[in-house]
Amino acid sequence: MRDGALWISGGGPDSDIVVSSRVRLARNLVGMPFPNRSDASQLQQAREKVIQAAKSTPSIGPLEILLLEDMSEMDRRIAVEEHLTSPQHVSEPKGRALILNRDNSLCVMVNEEDHLRIQAILPGFQLEQALRLAWAADDAIEETLDYAFDSELGYLSACPTNVGTGMRASVMLHLPALVITNSVGQVLGAASKVGVATRGIYGEGTEAVGNLFQVSNQVTMGRAEEEIIAHLGAIVRQIIDSERSARRALLDDARPQIEDRLYRSFGILTNARMMPSEEALKLMSDVKLGADMGILPNVPDDLLTRLSVDTMPAHVQRALGRELSVWERDIARAGIIRERFEKANKASRGSNSAPDKEE
Amino acid sequence: MRDGALWISGGGPDSDIVVSSRVRLARNLVGMPFPNRSDASQLQQAREKVIQAAKSTPSIGPLEILLLEDMSEMDRRIAVEEHLTSPQHVSEPKGRALILNRDNSLCVMVNEEDHLRIQAILPGFQLEQALRLAWAADDAIEETLDYAFDSELGYLSACPTNVGTGMRASVMLHLPALVITNSVGQVLGAASKVGVATRGIYGEGTEAVGNLFQVSNQVTMGRAEEEIIAHLGAIVRQIIDSERSARRALLDDARPQIEDRLYRSFGILTNARMMPSEEALKLMSDVKLGADMGILPNVPDDLLTRLSVDTMPAHVQRALGRELSVWERDIARAGIIRERFEKANKASRGSNSAPDKEE
B54-113 per-position pLDDT tens digit = 998 888 888 999 999 999 999 999 999 999 999 999 999 999 999 999 999 999 999 999
pLDDT digits (tens, 9 = 90+) for A142-187: 999 999 999 989 999 988 888 899 999 999 999 999 999 999 999 9
The answer to whether the CB atoms of A266 and B271 lie below 8 A apart is yes
Instruction: List the beta strands (DSSP E) in A68-158.
Output: 97-100, 106-110, 116-123, 149-150, 154-155
pLDDT at B212 over 60: yes
Mutate to test the interface with B, among A250, A257, A259, A260 (most CBs of B within 10 A): A260
Report the pLDDT averaged over residues A131-144. 95
For position B1, what pLDDT does the model report?
A: 61
Comparing A95 with B302, which gets the higher pLDDT? Answer: A95
Cβ of B271 and A264 within 8 Å? yes
Q: Chain B contacts of A270, Cβ < 8 Å?
A: 267
The least confident of B209-223, B237-251, B319-333 is B209-223
Contact A267 B263 (CB under 8 A): no
Strands (E), A97-179: 97-100, 106-110, 116-123, 149-150, 154-155, 167-174
Query: Which band of pLDDT confidence, cut at 50, 70 and 90, is reported for residue B52?
Result: very high
pLDDT tops 50 at residue A355: no
Q: What is the ipTM of this complex?
A: 0.88
CATH superfamily of A6-247: Glutamine synthetase/guanido kinase, catalytic domain (3.30.590.10)
User: What is the pLDDT averaged over residues A95-123?
Assistant: 96
Helical spans, DSSP H, in chain B = 40-55, 73-81, 87-91, 127-142, 176-180, 184-192, 225-269, 277-292, 303-310, 313-320, 326-358
Domain ranges in chain B are 6-247, 255-350
Interface of A with B (CB under 8 A): 256-257, 259-260, 263-264, 266-274, 327, 331, 334
Amino acid at A262: L
Question: How close is the nearest chain A Cα to the Cα of B14, in Å?
Answer: 28
Q: B66 and B108 in contact (C-beta within 8 Å)?
A: no
Contact between residue B122 and residue B107 where contact means Cβ atoms under 8 Å apart: no
Q: What is the pLDDT of residue A104?
A: 95
Does position B297 have pLDDT exceeding 90, yes or no? no
Q: pTM of this prediction? A: 0.90
Residues in A touching B256 (Cβ below 8 Å): 273-274, 327, 331
The answer to whether the beta carbons of residues B111 and B45 sit under 8 Å apart is: no
